Amino acid sequence: MHMKSSLVEYATAELTTLGKISNRGIFGGVGIFIEERLLGIVYNDVLYLHTGPSNREDYEKRGMEQFKPYPKAFDLTTDHHQVPSDVLADPQQLRQWGERALRAARDAARAKQLAGIARSRHEKQAARRAKKAQEAQEAQEEGQDD
């Protein structure tokens, strides 16, 4: 288990207004979770918050790096970007960026859920079509036996 840094303690204290907050190890750093949803990651004393279509541009236009948990192993990135230092230094701005990050995390979870529902629906429809085709094949074979 990783020891909590002062940055983890600070970010946790400032973001606690967003909901039930907890911390646990992730990617060699510390994850900050709101209601069991990953909101941020502190890695090497840098805070990264969740990004998505609704807030990613705020980070990119300021040149903030995307979190790469294993930069030498392979090109894996996450939906988290480094928080600008001026935002980090201002508790009110940090909470605002945290709120937008939480919204992005919830939107991403909703999109994944909807994709799963659509995939499940597609699989069920394909199974029904396969069953009908099987039944039609069997009926045709029975008709030929007569």
29-44 pLDDT per residue, tens:
999 999 888 999 999 9
Q: Is the pLDDT score of 80 beyond 60?
A: yes
Average pLDDT, the chain: 84
Confidence of residue 11 (pLDDT cuts 50, 70, 90): very high
- Dihedral over alpha carbons 138, 139, 144, 146 (to 10 degrees): 120
Angle at 96 between CA 81 and CA 52, to 5 degrees: 40
> Side-chain half-sphere of 74: how many Cα atoms within 13 Å?
2
Q: What angle do CA 76, 82, 85 make, to 5 degrees?
A: 165
- From the list 89, 44, 38, the residue with the least C-alpha distance to 65 is 44
Over the stretch 65-74, which tens digit does the pLDDT of each residue have?
888 877 666 6
pLDDT tens string 82-116:
999 999 999 999 999 999 999 999 888 877 765 55
Beta strands in the chain (DSSP E): 21-26, 29-34, 37-43, 46-50, 80-82
* Residues 6+ away with beta carbon under 8 Å from 5: 30, 42, 45
pLDDT value of position 23: 95
More confident residue, 39 or 138: 39
Predicted local confidence at residue 89, as pLDDT: 93
Q: What are phi and psi of 3, to 5 degrees?
A: -75, 145
**In this structure, what are the phi and psi dihedrals at residue 122, rounded to the nearest 5 degrees?**
-60, -45
pLDDT at residue 2 tops 50:
no
Q: pLDDT band for 1, please (50, 70, 90 cuts).
A: very low
What are the distances in angstroms from CA 65 to CA 2, 62, 100?
23, 9, 18
Lowest mean pLDDT among 13-17, 78-82, 91-95: 78-82
More confident residue, 20 or 145: 20
Task: State in words which class domain 6-129 has.
Answer: alpha beta
For residue 30, which of 59, 5, 66 has the smallest C-alpha distance? 5
